[in-house]
């Protein structure tokens, strides 16, 4: 697998305030990511920035499963495409270190790291019914396309197929 | 003060010079300016980095058919090879093409009893290319087509399964990959290159060629971590090419400014079938380093794209399989307007002259025989290809005058029976049957920018020629970045062949160069 591309810093991060569970960032400044941050500790990375809308239940000790009780998949409050995948990973217990390791200088991960948990063939099977085209296999790349081409972890995802096709996939 | 006065009087005196003198003076100034520009360009290209960040024998720009073929051959010859790609994925246009390659005298032709030869192929190339083809280059691809196919199948492991016809060829000559996509060759090439130890760097853009004082190409300034199309992204780095650089960076169909400089008609109203990265800056960088360009204004429009789908789409695979099996109609008149099996330029020019989308259709028998089920299914799913139970329904949907259309279909059917089209000399195949059986399948056609015939000048060794008419030492090129192979009009399925043949030549010769240092 070739090296994944370095995502743009923060410009494309989520802007939907009502759904800004953990991501209401000051414009153009990504929070400094702390490798030791726990899933329930927003301020570890975001400092004093308000990251949740008023009246939002406390998220300390919440897991992704708990978030999804309100933000269910097909509801208007769905987090799909609105929450950086790194946060979803964190909330599901996948810490920075699990993907990036403990090296001093964090680098983008190779697709093989993603594939250790998300096996391409299985993903393709899971999305076989997606219309008009299975997003996880294509006549061009089969199942070999680097995950990060569409699913950026620290920036908004992008639908790579759209540059030539009209496949309006909703990107997690 | 006195200086000012004397300058003023000098100007006054000059302003009274005779016209001839003034023109001569202006010409002198212009020449001085030109000389300065050339010197600056030389200085810019020749400016050697203080330190090379990496060193390889051969550096290749681009990961399509040409770049990967070159990489494999260079590596095969023992060179240490780096391939850079500015995009995030490999394959460029090659991975989105139809996977068809023209090969004269292939086994499927023999099985079908079709007589063909490199000579006949060469004749077709020159006819379509208005004999603007550089004959030596055209002959090279015609003569080496059989060997190229053998290599793709036996060495690289690609699978070709079917013989198809493309407009402009005098016989059925093109072979198609098993998945009807260029990926059927690109992916095996990519896998092979990696397995042989070719290094790849993605999101890495070539900024400029670096030349020595003697004008030899010695390496590249690149931009790592480049995020297309942001020119400020990424970080500068220098790679030394001990032997040579091979440019396989494709054309410039997606660069509206550059293509309009060459052909002002092709403005932003025209989409392109190309991947978004086909923007040609490597071509310009090569020119700045002294490489010569040719026929840059011959830009091919694909006449088989549909305005009802994006990009290349599925319609080209429908339209091209159907030419010679069903009629093409001007919807305003209900009449045929062009030789359906004519070359791309003839057809695209006719459509551009009409100024609105046209229609091609076929009946159940011909469509079923010719069009892959996958193409039909996908084209119908996105709405570009439509199915009609009657001709009345078809005419109503596209606003075609029914009586004229029916008359035209009857005429077409009589030509099919006689196997001869006196109106437009459309090639009608032995197995073509009259357009009578419902359902009918149809789609709209409107041209898109497809291929840049022009580009860098190369010789038959794939070595790039400079503006001094001599080979630019250390620089090779192959594929769409070059010009001359196809002349005015590229015949369908000849790009894939061009890329494989000249990619291999470029790779082999690049690896043979002596180390410069």
Q: What is the ipTM of this complex?
A: 0.78
Question: B381 at the A interface (CB within 8 A)?
Answer: yes
Residue A36, judged by CB atoms within 10 A of its CB (0-12, 13-18, 19+), counts as: exposed
Q: Measured between beta carbons, which residues in chain B are less than 8 angstroms from residue A8?
A: 227
- Among B190, B311, B449, pick the best mutation site for testing chain A contact (most A Cβ within 10 A): B311
Is A140 within 8 Å of B183 when comparing Cβ atoms?
yes
What are the two backbone dihedrals, phi and then psi, of residue B103, each rounded to the nearest 5 degrees? -140, 115
Q: Which of A2, A5, A132 sits opposite B200 (nearest CB)?
A: A2
Which of the residue ranges A31-35, B42-46, B290-294, B504-508 would you say has the lowest mean pLDDT?
B42-46
How does residue B14 score in pLDDT terms, banded at 50, 70 and 90? Answer: very low
Q: Is the pLDDT of residue B379 over 90?
A: yes
Please name the residues in contact with B192: beta carbons below 8 A apart, sequence gap of 6 or more. B68, B72, B155, B156, B157
Share of chain A above pLDDT 90, in %: 26
B181·A140 Cβ contact <8 A: yes
Residues contacting residue A154 through CB under 8 Å, at least 6 positions apart: A7, A10, A30, A33, A84, A86
Please give the pLDDT value at position A35.
Answer: 64
Do A141 and B89 make contact, defined as CB atoms within 8 angstroms? Answer: yes
For residue B439, with 0-12 CB atoms within 10 Å meaning exposed, 13-18 middle and 19 or more buried, which class applies?
A: middle
Least confident segment among A1-10, A135-144, B31-40, B462-471: A1-10
Indicate which of A9, A12, A112, A140 best probes the interface with B, i.e. most B CBs within 10 Å of its own CB: A140
Rounded Cα distance between B216 and B211, Å, is 5
CA distance A149 to chain B (A): 7
Average pLDDT of chain B is 92
Q: Chain A within 8 Å of B413 (Cβ-Cβ)?
A: no
- Chain A touched by B300 (CB under 8 Å): no
Task: Tell whether the model's pLDDT for residue B285 goes beyond 50.
Answer: yes
What per-residue confidence (pLDDT) applies to B60?
Answer: 98
- B176: alpha, beta or left, given left = phi > 0 and alpha = psi -120 to 50? beta
**Window from A56-60, A145-149, B245-249, B418-422 with minimum mean pLDDT:** A56-60
Question: Which residues are CB-neighbours of B343 under 8 A, at least 6 positions away?
Answer: B128, B167, B168, B489, B491
**Region A51-62: what's the mean pLDDT?**
80
Q: Residue B315 CA to chain centroid, in angstroms? A: 19
List of chain A residues whose C-beta atoms are within 8 Å of the C-beta of residue B188: none
Confidence of residue B45 (pLDDT cuts 50, 70, 90): low
Residues 6 or more apart whose CB falls under 8 angstroms from that of A12 comprise A152, A155, A156
Chain B CA closest to residue A6:
B225
Strand bridging mode B217-224 / B204-211: antiparallel
* Tokens, residue A118: 């998300």
What number of residues does chain A have? 172
pLDDT in the model for residue B22: 43
Mean of the pLDDT values across residues B268-272? 90
Top residue of B94, B306, B310, B449 to mutate, by most chain A CBs within 10 Å, is B310
> Are A128 and A134 contacting, i.e. CB atoms less than 8 angstroms apart?
yes
- Residue B256 is predicted with a pLDDT of 97
Residues of B in contact with A144 (CB under 8 A): 187
Give the confidence band of B172 by pLDDT, cuts at 50, 70, 90.
very high
pLDDT at A83: 81
What pLDDT, on the 0 to 100 scale, is given for residue A39? 63
Report the gap between the CA of A17 and the closest CA in chain B (Å): 28
Cα B173 to Cα B124, B140, B510: the distances in Å are 11, 17, 31
In this predicted structure, what is the pLDDT of residue A102?
86
Is 90 exceeded by the pLDDT of residue B44? no
Question: Is the pLDDT assigned to residue A156 strictly greater than 90?
Answer: no
Predicted local distance difference test score (pLDDT) of residue B21: 43
- pLDDT at site A40: 67
Q: Do B312 and A140 touch (CB under 8 A)?
A: no
Write the DSSP symbol of residue B482. E
Q: Is B275 in contact with A165 (Cβ distance < 8 A)?
A: no
Distances (CA, A) of B73 to B196, B197, B266, B514: 10, 12, 37, 16
Q: What is the pLDDT of residue B240?
A: 98
Kind and range of the H or E element at B223?
strand B217-224
Please tell me whether residue B82 adopts helix, strand or coil conformation. Answer: strand
Is any Cβ of chain A less than 8 angstroms from the Cβ of B302?
Answer: no
What 3-state DSSP class applies to B174?
strand
Given this model, what pLDDT does residue B446 score?
95
Q: Which two tokens stand for residue A42?
A: 């927003």
Mutant choice from B88, B279, B372 vs A, greatest count of A C-beta within 10 A:
B88
| Chain B nearest CA to A105, separation (Å) | 16
**Is residue B91 less than 8 Å (CB to CB) from chain A?**
yes
Whole-angstrom distance, CA of residue B392 vs CA of residue A37: 68
The per-residue pLDDT for A12 is: 34
Residue B392 has pLDDT above 90, yes or no: yes
First-to-last C-alpha distance (Å) of chain B: 58
Instruction: Report how far residue A3's alpha carbon sits from residue B324's, in angstroms, rounded to the nearest whole number.
Output: 47
By Cβ distance, the residue of A2, A139, A166 closest to B202 is A2
Please state the separation of Cα B226 from the chain's center in Å: 24
Average pLDDT of chain A is: 77
- β pairing state of B455-457 and B482-483: parallel
Choosing from B139, B336, B344, B444, the catalytic residue is: B344
* Contact residues, chain B, for A164 at CB < 8 Å: 96, 275, 310-312
Find chain B residues with C-beta within 8 A of A160's C-beta: 89
User: Is B490 marked active-site?
Assistant: no
A97 to each of A65, A145, A148, how far by Cα in Å? Answer: 21, 24, 18
- For residue range B419-435, what is the model confidence (pLDDT) as tens digits? 999 999 999 999 999 99
**Prior bond of B321 cis (ω within 30°):** no
Q: For testing the chain B interface, which of A110, A157, A164 should be mutated: the one with the most B CBs within 10 Å?
A: A164
Task: Give the pLDDT of residue A80.
Answer: 76
Q: Specify the range with the lowest mean pLDDT, choosing from B2-6, B122-126, B230-234.
A: B2-6
B33/chain A closest Cα distance in angstroms: 42
Q: Using beta carbons and an 8 Å cutoff, which residues of A are at the interface with B?
A: 2-3, 5-6, 8, 132, 139-142, 144-146, 149, 160, 163-166
In this prediction, residues A78-97 reach a mean pLDDT of 84
CB neighbour class for B191 (10 Å; exposed up to 12, middle 13-18, buried from 19): middle
Task: Give B124 to chain A, closest Cα distance, Å.
Answer: 30
Q: Which of A19-23, B2-6, B88-92 has the highest mean pLDDT?
A: B88-92
| Contact criterion met (CB < 8 Å) for B202 and A5 | yes
Judged by average pLDDT, the poorest of B10-14, B139-143, B199-203 is B10-14
- The more confident residue out of A51 and B224 is B224
State how far the Cα of B99 lies from the Cα of B159, in Å rounded to an integer. 10
Enter the tokens of residue B439: 């359902």
Query: Which is more confidently placed, A50 or B48?
Result: B48
Task: Read off the pTM.
Answer: 0.82
At residue B168 the predicted structure's pLDDT band, cuts being 50, 70 and 90, is: confident
Helix, strand, coil shares of chain A, percent, nearest 5, are 30, 0, 70
Q: Is residue B344 over pLDDT 70?
A: yes
Q: What percent of chain B is helix, strand and coil (3-state, nearest 5)?
A: 40, 20, 40
Q: Token digits for A17? A: 């305030």
CB contact under 8 A, A132 and B381: yes
- Say yes or no: B377 contacts chain A, CB-CB below 8 A: no
- Tell me if the bond preceding B206 is cis, omega within 30° of 0: no
Residue A72: CB atoms within 10 Å: 12
d(CA B462, CA B473): 12
Mean pLDDT of B166-185: 94
For residue A71, name the pLDDT band (cuts at 50, 70, 90).
confident
Tell me how close the Cα of A30 comes to any Cα of chain B, in angstroms: 17
Nearest to B96 among A6, A146, A164 (CB): A164
For residue A35, the Cα-to-chain-centroid distance in whole angstroms is 16
The 10s digit of each residue's pLDDT in B122-148 is 999 999 999 999 999 999 999 999 999
**Beta-carbon separation of A144 and B187 below 8 A:** yes
Q: Who among B179, B202, B227 is closest to A139 (CB)?
A: B179
Q: Quick one: average pLDDT of B80-99?
A: 96
């Amino acid at each position: 697998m070739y090296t994944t591309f370095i995502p743009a810093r923060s410009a494309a991060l989520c802007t939907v305030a009502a759904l800004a569970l953990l991501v209401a960032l000051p414009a153009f400044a990504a929070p400094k990511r702390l490798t030791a941050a726990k899933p329930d500790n927003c301020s570890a990375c975001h400092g004093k920035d308000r990251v949740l809308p008023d009246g939002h239940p406390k998220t300390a000790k919440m897991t992704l499963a708990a978030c999804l009780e309100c933000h269910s998949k097909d509801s208007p409050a769905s987090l799909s495409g609105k929450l950086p995948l790194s946060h979803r990973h964190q909330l599901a217990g996948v810490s920075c270190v699990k993907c990036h390791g403990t090296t001093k200088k964090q680098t983008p991960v190779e697709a093989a790291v993603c594939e250790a948990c998300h096996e391409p063939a299985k993903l393709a099977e899971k999305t076989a019914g997606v219309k008009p085209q299975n997003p996880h296999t294509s006549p061009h790349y089969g199942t070999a396309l680097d995950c990060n081409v569409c699913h950026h972890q620290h920036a908004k995802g992008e639908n790579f197929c759209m540059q030539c096709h009209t496949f309006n996939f909703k990107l997690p | 003060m006195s200086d000012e006065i004397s300058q003023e009087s000098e100007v006054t005196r000059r302003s009274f010079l005779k016209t001839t003198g003034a023109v001569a003076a202006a010409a002198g100034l212009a020449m001085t300016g030109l000389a300065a520009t050339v010197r600056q360009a030389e200085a810019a290209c020749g400016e050697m980095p203080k330190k090379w960040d990496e060193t390889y024998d051969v550096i290749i720009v681009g990961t399509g058919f040409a770049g990967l073929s070159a990489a494999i051959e260079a590596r095969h010859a023992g060179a240490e090879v780096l391939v850079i790609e500015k995009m995030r994925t490999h394959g460029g246009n090659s991975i989105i093409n139809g996977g068809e390659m023209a090969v004269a005298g292939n086994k499927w032709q023999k099985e079908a009893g079709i007589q063909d030869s490199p000579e006949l192929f060469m004749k077709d190339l020159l006819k379509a290319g208005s004999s603007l083809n550089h004959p030596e280059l055209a002959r090279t691809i015609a003569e080496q087509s059989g060997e190229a196919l053998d290599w793709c199948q036996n060495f690289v492991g690609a699978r070709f399964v079917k013989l198809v016809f493309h407009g402009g060829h005098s016989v059925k000559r093109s072979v198609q990959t098993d998945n009807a996509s260029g990926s059927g060759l690109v992916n095996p090439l990519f896998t092979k290159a990696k397995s042989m130890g070719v290094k790849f760097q993605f999101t890495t853009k070539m900024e400029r060629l670096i030349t020595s004082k003697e004008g030899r190409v010695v390496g590249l300034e690149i931009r790592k971590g480049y995020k297309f199309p942001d020119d400020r992204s990424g970080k500068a780095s220098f790679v030394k090419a001990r032997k040579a650089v091979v440019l396989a960076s494709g054309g410039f169909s997606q660069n509206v400014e550059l293509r309009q400089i060459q052909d002002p008609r092709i403005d932003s109203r025209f989409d392109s079938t190309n991947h978004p990265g086909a923007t040609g800056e490597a071509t310009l960088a090569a020119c700045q380093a002294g490489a010569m360009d040719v026929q840059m204004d011959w830009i091919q429009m694909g006449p088989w794209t549909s305005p009802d789908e994006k990009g290349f789409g599925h319609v080209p695979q429908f339209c091209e399989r159907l030419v010679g099996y069903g009629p093409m109609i001007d919807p305003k008149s209900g009449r045929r307007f062009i030789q359906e099996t004519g070359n791309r330029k003839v057809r695209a020019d006719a459509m551009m002259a009409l100024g609105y989308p046209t229609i091609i259709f076929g009946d159940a028998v011909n469509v079923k025989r010719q069009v892959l089920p996958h193409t039909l299914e996908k084209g119908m799913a996105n709405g570009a290809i439509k199915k009609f139970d009657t001709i009345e329904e078809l005419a109503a949907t596209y606003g075609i005058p029914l009586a004229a259309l029916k008359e035209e279909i009857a005429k077409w059917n009589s030509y099919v029976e006689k196997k001869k089209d006196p109106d437009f000399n459309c090639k009608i195949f032995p197995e073509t049957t009259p357009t009578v059986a419902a359902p009918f399948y149809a789609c709209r056609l409107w041209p898109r920018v497809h291929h840049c015939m022009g580009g860098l000048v190369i010789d038959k060794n794939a070595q790039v020629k400079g503006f001094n008419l001599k080979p630019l030492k250390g620089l090779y090129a192959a594929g769409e970045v070059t010009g001359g192979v196809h002349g005015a009009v590229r015949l369908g399925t000849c790009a894939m062949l061009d890329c494989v043949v000249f990619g291999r030549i470029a790779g082999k010769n690049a690896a043979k160069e002596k180390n410069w240092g």
